[in-house]
Amino acid sequence: MRVRRRTLLLVLLLLAIGLFDGFLLLRRSRYREESVRLRAGMSTLERARADAIVAAQADRAELMLELMRRQAVGDDGLHLAISTDSSYLALDRGSARLRQFSVEIGPARRVGVAPDTVHVAIPRGVRAVQRLLAASDRYELPAWVWVDRGLPVPAVRADTGWVGRGAIVTTGGTLIYSLPTAGPLADSSYVLPGSLRVPAGDLAAIRENLFSGMRVYFF
C-alpha cells in the first residue's frame, strides 16, 4: 500500500513539474512574441537606442557588484561579505576569510495587497549591523508576510522565536535569520523575500564576533 502511495505521489509530482515547465515555456514564448512586436514598431535608431540602454544597465550593475567585492576585500576591519549570486555569507577581515557558509536568499517580490503594495528587492550595497536580536527579543514582522503566505494577519505580529535564534537586522531592514520553530517563517520551503536564511549552527558560530555598526557588504 505504501509503495502504491509513493508511486502515485511521484507520478503527481512529475505531472506538476511538467505542467509548470509548460507554463514557463508558454510565458517565454509570449514574452518573445511581444518583444518582437514592439521592436517591429521601432525605427532602426530606436532599436539601437533600446539595445544600448539594456546593455548599459547590465554593464552598470555588473560594475557596481565588482566594485562592492573589491571594497569588501580592502576593508581591514572585521565585516560580513554576502554574495547574493553565489549564495554565501563570509566573515572576513580584509582579504582573510575566517568562515564561509551557504545561505538561502529570499526572492525579490512585490508584496502586499493592491493598492498598498511594496517591491521587496534583494539587498545590494554596503550596510551595517543595526540590531543583534537576543532569544528574548520580539521582532515585529510586516503584515505582508502573512498575506504572502496566504494566512490571516494577526493582531500581534511579534513574538519570541519567530526569527530563530540570534537573528541580525541590518540598516535598510534586511533580516538575517535561521529557521524558527514557530511563527509564519517556520517553513523550510519559504524564505522571507529580501532577506537571508542561514544555518542556525553557522549563525551561532559567528555571532560572538558581530557587533552593532559592523559593516555588511551585499554584492
Host H or E run for residue 148 = helix 144-148
Higher pLDDT, 168 or 13: 168
Lowest-confidence pick of 19-23, 51-55, 60-64, 157-161: 19-23
Residue 7 binned pLDDT confidence (cut-offs 50, 70, 90): low
The full set of domain ranges for the chain reads 2-65, 77-218
Residue 8 binned pLDDT confidence (cut-offs 50, 70, 90): low
CB atoms within 10 A of CB 104: 15
Q: What are phi and psi of 148, to 5 degrees?
A: -60, -30
- At 102-159, the pLDDT tens digits run 999 999 999 988 888 889 999 999 999 999 999 899 999 999 999 999 999 999 999 9
Q: What is the mean pLDDT of the chain?
A: 83
Mean pLDDT value across residues 24-36: 56
- At 169-218, the pLDDT tens digits run 999 999 999 999 999 999 999 999 999 999 999 999 999 999 999 999 99
Q: What is the CATH number of domain 77-218?
A: 2.40.440.10
**Residues 194, 144, 140: CA angle, nearest 5 degrees:** 80
Which are the contacts of 193, defined by CB distance < 8 A and separation ≥ 6? 106, 107, 108, 109, 111, 120, 148
Lowest-confidence pick of 33-47, 72-86, 87-101, 191-205: 33-47
